[in-house]
């Protein structure tokens, strides 16, 4: 919906499988179908005619009204309407729609950059404010979500955890536990239908040698898959490189232990594939300039990296970027990457 409308306001019910606004597109025209409850707001604030959309209004209390309106506008039976997976309509065109929207327009790329800065700022602010041993994971998460929402976005994915839970679990969702030694914050932020993803880690004290080695191994994997994410390669090529990189750091097959990320945009990942999915259409999908990617490698023990990048002909542009967060040198394709922040060092610098 957001892709087809140029960023129509988010759904009223964020958890619903279908929204109170539909777009119907035919070879000759397009319509925005909505309920009587939403019509005035959409007419006043979205102005459908500016987007060459006819507004079709249906009663909210008629469960079949949307399907009938779509069919009548298109002039064909509902079963002949391709859709993004609605059970009462015809062929499921979800994959075709994903393929069409992978390459983002200039306006969409600008929105992605703005959203990326917001997400990185929110992650940085909540972790810089973390008081080791006093703040719970829920406290840090509340600040993270508040900052994202204040920027006009929401958080389809938010994970905040600390200490042994980070070392033990790949998804240490907040449970109200205090964080004394380590805090990890993960967010997928969404605005105007677009998504960015990023992870940040903060430590109360200087990292142990063991953990530093683990993180260095992981960044070598991330450098490798990012280096392989270039125009002309395929997503399968990038996954082959990722698989080999895990073996190269002594962790063969470690990708099996956690979702590895991939292209991001109008979904928090536009599709999901793994190195063994050679029969998937997405394995042969070519990477193009204008695609957005967010790989998400990790290693058991608490090492994880994740940022969102735009693919360009000259390299990758990190959009989840905040000047205040420390960085370290990385592969030439990205130049530098966010570091692990040590609270002691941050407080020393701030003073």
In this structure, the number of other CB atoms found within 10 A of the CB of residue 105 comes to 12
* Statement to judge: residues 340 and 284 lie in one domain: yes
Please report which confidence band the pLDDT of residue 350 belongs to, taking 50, 70 and 90 as the band edges.
low
**134 inside domain:** yes
**99 inside domain:** no
User: For position 111, what pLDDT does the model report?
Assistant: 98
* Statement to judge: residues 281 and 339 lie in one domain: yes
Rounded average pLDDT over 191-218: 96
Please report which confidence band the pLDDT of residue 169 belongs to, taking 50, 70 and 90 as the band edges.
very high
pTM for the structure as a whole: 0.95
User: For position 348, what pLDDT does the model report?
Assistant: 64
User: For position 18, what pLDDT does the model report?
Assistant: 85
Please report which confidence band the pLDDT of residue 19 belongs to, taking 50, 70 and 90 as the band edges.
confident
* Statement to judge: residues 19 and 165 lie in one domain: no
User: For position 9, what pLDDT does the model report?
Assistant: 77
Structure-token pair, residue 290? 């204008």
Residue with tokens 């394995």: 283
* Statement to judge: residues 53 and 195 lie in one domain: no
* Statement to judge: residues 281 and 215 lie in one domain: yes
Cβ burial 269-291 (10 Å sphere, 16+ → b, else e): bbbebbbeeeeeebbebebeebb
* Statement to judge: residues 87 and 221 lie in one domain: no
SS3 307: coil
Please report which confidence band the pLDDT of residue 220 belongs to, taking 50, 70 and 90 as the band edges.
very high
* Statement to judge: residues 87 and 114 lie in one domain: no
**Contact residues for 27 (Cβ-Cβ < 8 A; gap 6+):** none
**100 inside domain:** no
Domain hosting residue 67, numbered range: 2-92
Average pLDDT of the chain to the nearest whole number: 95
* Bigger pLDDT: 298 vs 9: 298
* Statement to judge: residues 55 and 195 lie in one domain: no
User: For position 349, what pLDDT does the model report?
Assistant: 64
The torsion angles phi and psi of 315, rounded to 5 degrees, stand at 140, -160
* Statement to judge: residues 83 and 166 lie in one domain: no
Q: How far is it, in rounded angstroms, from Cα 244 to Cα 240?
A: 6
* Statement to judge: residues 73 and 118 lie in one domain: no
Check: CB of residue 138 under 8 Å from CB of residue 226: no
Q: Give the CATH number of the domain where residue 344 resides.
A: 3.90.230.10
Can you list the positions of beta strands (E) in 215-300? 261-264, 292-295, 298-299
**97 inside domain:** no
**16 inside domain:** yes
* Statement to judge: residues 224 and 253 lie in one domain: yes
Structure-token pair, residue 101? 């929207």
**Considering 70, 92, 114, which residue would you say is the last residue of a domain?**
92
* Statement to judge: residues 183 and 303 lie in one domain: yes
**175 inside domain:** yes
**Considering 30, 65, 92, which residue would you say is the last residue of a domain?**
92
Give the total number of structural domains in the chain. 2
Residue with tokens 């129509």: 8
**Considering 68, 92, 116, which residue would you say is the last residue of a domain?**
92
**111 inside domain:** yes
Strand partners, 272: none
**101 inside domain:** no
**Contact residues for 109 (Cβ-Cβ < 8 A; gap 6+):** 290, 292, 310
User: For position 154, what pLDDT does the model report?
Assistant: 96
Tens digits of residue pLDDT in 246-291: 999 999 999 999 999 999 999 999 999 999 999 999 999 999 999 9
Hey, what long-range contacts does 334-339 have (CB within 8 A, 24 or more apart)? 334/223, 334/226, 334/309, 337/219, 337/222, 337/305, 337/307, 338/200, 338/307
């Amino acid at each position: 919906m957001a892709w087809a409308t140029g960023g129509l306001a988010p759904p009223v019910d964020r958890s619903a499988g279908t929204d109170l606004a539909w777009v119907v597109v035919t070879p000759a025209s397009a319509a925005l179908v909505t309920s009587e409850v939403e019509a005035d707001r959409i007419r006043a604030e979205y102005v459908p005619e500016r987007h060459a959309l006819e507004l079709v209004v249906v009663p909210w209390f008629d469960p079949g009204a949307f399907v009938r309106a779509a069919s009548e506008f298109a002039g064909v039976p509902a079963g002949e309407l391709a859709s993004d997976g609605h059970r009462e309509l015809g062929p499921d065109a979800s994959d075709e729609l994903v393929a069409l929207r992978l390459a983002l327009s200039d306006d969409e790329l600008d929105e992605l950059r703005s959203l990326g800065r917001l997400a990185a700022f929110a992650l940085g602010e909540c972790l810089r404010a973390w008081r080791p041993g006093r703040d719970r994971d829920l406290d840090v998460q509340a600040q993270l979500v508040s900052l994202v929402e204040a920027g006009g976005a929401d958080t389809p994915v938010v994970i905040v955890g600390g200490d042994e839970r980070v070392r033990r679990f790949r998804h240490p969702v907040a449970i109200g536990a205090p964080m004394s030694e380590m805090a990890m914050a993960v967010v997928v932020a969404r605005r105007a239908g677009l998504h960015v993803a990023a992870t940040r880690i903060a430590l109360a004290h200087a990292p142990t040698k063991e953990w530093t080695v683990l993180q260095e191994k992981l960044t070598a994997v991330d450098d490798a898959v990012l280096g392989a994410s270039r125009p002309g390669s395929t997503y399968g090529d990038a996954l082959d490189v990722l698989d080999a990189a895990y073996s190269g750091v002594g962790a063969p097959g470690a990708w099996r232990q956690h979702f590895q990320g991939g292209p991001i945009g109008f979904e928090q990942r536009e599709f999901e594939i793994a190195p063994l999915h050679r029969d998937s259409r997405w394995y042969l999908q070519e990477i193009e300039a204008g695609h957005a990617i967010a790989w998400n490698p990790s290693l058991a023990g608490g090492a994880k990296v994740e940022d969102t990048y735009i693919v360009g002909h000259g390299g990758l542009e990190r959009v989840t970027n905040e000047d205040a967060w420390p960085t370290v040198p990385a592969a030439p394709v990205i130049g530098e990457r966010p570091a692990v922040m040590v609270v002691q060092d941050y407080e020393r610098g701030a003073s």
